[in-house]
A and B are shown apart, each in its own frame.
Chain A
Amino acid sequence: MEAPPVSVMPVTGGSINMMEYLLQGSVLDQALESLLHRLRGLCDNMEPETFTDHELVYLLKGQQGNPFILRARHSLSHPAAPWHLRYLGQPEVGDKSRHALVRNCLDVSASHSLPDVLNEMGFRMDHEFVANGHVFRRGALKVVVSKLSRVLVPGNTENTERLSLSYLVELSVLAPAGQDTVSEDMRSFAEQLKPLVHLEKIDPSKQRH
């Protein structure tokens, strides 16, 4: 009997119970060049990386409780690349001694049939957007500077409209739970981007309404 294709392989890796430490901010379009310039100076010496991604956010609501959310993302600039499925836990922002927002985070790569699978499972797409921008790294730190765009006609990523006159700036680190020292590194890095960008831990639940 043939062994079934192992589609759940990523789970067996060491990526379980990783936490994402996150700081967020934004930069106006006209100051983008200055920020990129500074990031090129601060970050690891590598080829500048740009991306254009399409993110679809799927919801599943049971009889009670909060809906269960999964994020599916795929690259528009590299259509052959695998899809990326991401689960994000409830953010913890209360702890004052921590300088960053912390949430459970799970990343799995997936095949191109991911949207169909999710639909079959009962997930429904809640919203989608296109993000394009730049990625920088410094050691474990990752800085993503991206422009968010609405998708005007569902599924048609050609027809988009930008969401605001600013770029979203996110500084994140993936680390095993309890490694709060990384938030110190993040804070010192964020200090170096001031006054161009103020990276803060922002409680997203306050933006819900």
Chain B
Amino acid sequence: MLIKKQREEKQLEASVDLLISRVAHLKNALHNFIYKLENEFERLAWPSVLDNFALVSGQLNTINKLLRNEKTPSFRNQVIIPLELSPDRDDELAKLTEQRVPVFSHEIVPDHLRTKPDPEVEEMEKQLSAEAARLGPEAAQKQIQTLNKLCSNLLEKLNNPREDRDPESSAIRQSKPSFNPADTLALVGAVAFGKGLSKCRPPGPGAPGQGPMMGGGPTLQQVTIGGASGQPGIVVLFFSLLTGKMPSSIKTNIKSASGSMHPYNR
């Protein structure tokens, strides 16, 4: 029995120590954050503010976990009794509390060792429980149902935020596609090869200087031109002016052209 009690005491001490160190960490983080907010707010970037928030919330989480841990004895069952009250200044206490509580007197002890809510809060609670007692069970049931309904509606809205707030984009996403792959291919074919473009043109317009047009079908590979054999030479010149190099498919033409006739002697 005695051993068990000793073990419990040890456990309590250990967990209190742990809690103190965690709270000290949290206090440090808060302290740093407040310092930054007050002194470096001009240089403080939003991401670093968020980082600080994350740090604090993480530490709060750790403390919560610690308190909920099975191995942590329930602090609620522990009783703290003030053994000595004195109106004199206690330097040791002031040092422990970082000058926040210099005196352990009758005046402040009820506040610091308080386990009940504040008197005003107690008053409000009393009012509320009186009101609850007045209410009949049926009316209460009804109110519970209404509240449940409201909550579930709200939850639903929160869970599907985009569809409600952004009806236009959700309509597009759900009902109709915004593009047609066949159209893409047709348009790409049109800009690349004039696919589907030249078909509707009446064949053989009589404009001077215009060569024979193909009346339909794929055109790029079938077009014949009525130019003299010397003309590719000019084109090569033109092309090489543009690119600074000769295309291999036309190079062969130069040979044949220069072999037979000079392009400029026409």
Contact = CB atoms under 8 A, between A and B. Distances in A.
A59 B220 contact: yes
B192 A204 contact: yes
A148 B190 contact: yes
Interface string A146-174: 00101111110000010111101000000
Nearest to A60: B235
Interface in B180-210: 180-181, 183-198, 200-202, 205, 207, 209-210
A155 B180 contact: no
Interface residues of B, number: 62
Given A121-B238, A124-B223, A127-B219, A207 B192 contact: yes
A110 to B, nearest CB: 11
Interface in A179-206: 195-198, 200, 202, 204
A119 B210 contact: yes
Given A62-B253, A122-B235, A148-B190, A166 B225 contact: no
**Residue picked from A16, A26, A120, most chain B C-beta under 10 Å:** A26
Contact of B188 (A57, A63, A207): A207
A163 B185 CA distance: 12
Contact of B179 (A28, A60, A66): A28
A132 B229 CA distance: 38
Contacts of A14: none
Interface string B150-188: 000000000000000000110011001111110111111
B252 interface: yes
Contacts of A68: 235, 239, 247, 249-250
A166 B186 CA distance: 10
A128 B199 CA distance: 11
Interface stretch (A29-37, A40-48, A75-83): A29-37
B224 interface: yes
Interface string B215-226: 000111101110
A181 B57 CA distance: 40
A120 B234 CA distance: 10
**Residue picked from B197, B219, B229, most chain A C-beta under 10 Å:** B197
B59 interface: no
Contact of B193 (A31, A63, A204): A204
B188 to A, nearest CB: 5
Contacts, number: 194
Interface in A127-143: 127-129
Contacts of B228: 122
A25 to B, nearest CB: 6
A198 B181 CA distance: 9
Nearest to A207: B189
Contacts of A207: 185-186, 188-189, 192-193, 195
B231 A129 contact: no
Contact of A161 (B189, B200, B213): B200
B117 interface: no
Given A34-B168, A121-B231, A128 B197 contact: yes
A26 B223 contact: no
A152 B198 CA distance: 9
26 contacts: A25-B179, A26-B183, A30-B176, A31-B172, A60-B231, A61-B223, A62-B232, A63-B253, A68-B235, A87-B243, A108-B242, A121-B238, A122-B228, A125-B211, A126-B194, A128-B197, A148-B191, A154-B213, A164-B187, A195-B178, A196-B172, A197-B178, A197-B179, A204-B189, A207-B195, A208-B220
Interface of B: 168-169, 172-173, 176-181, 183-198, 200-202, 205, 207, 209-213, 218-221, 223-225, 227-229, 231-232, 234-235, 238-239, 241-244, 247, 249-250, 252-253, 256
Given A35-B178, A57-B194, 12 more contacts: A16-B243, A30-B176, A31-B176, A59-B223, A87-B242, A122-B225, A150-B196, A163-B186, A163-B190, A168-B191, A208-B192, A208-B195
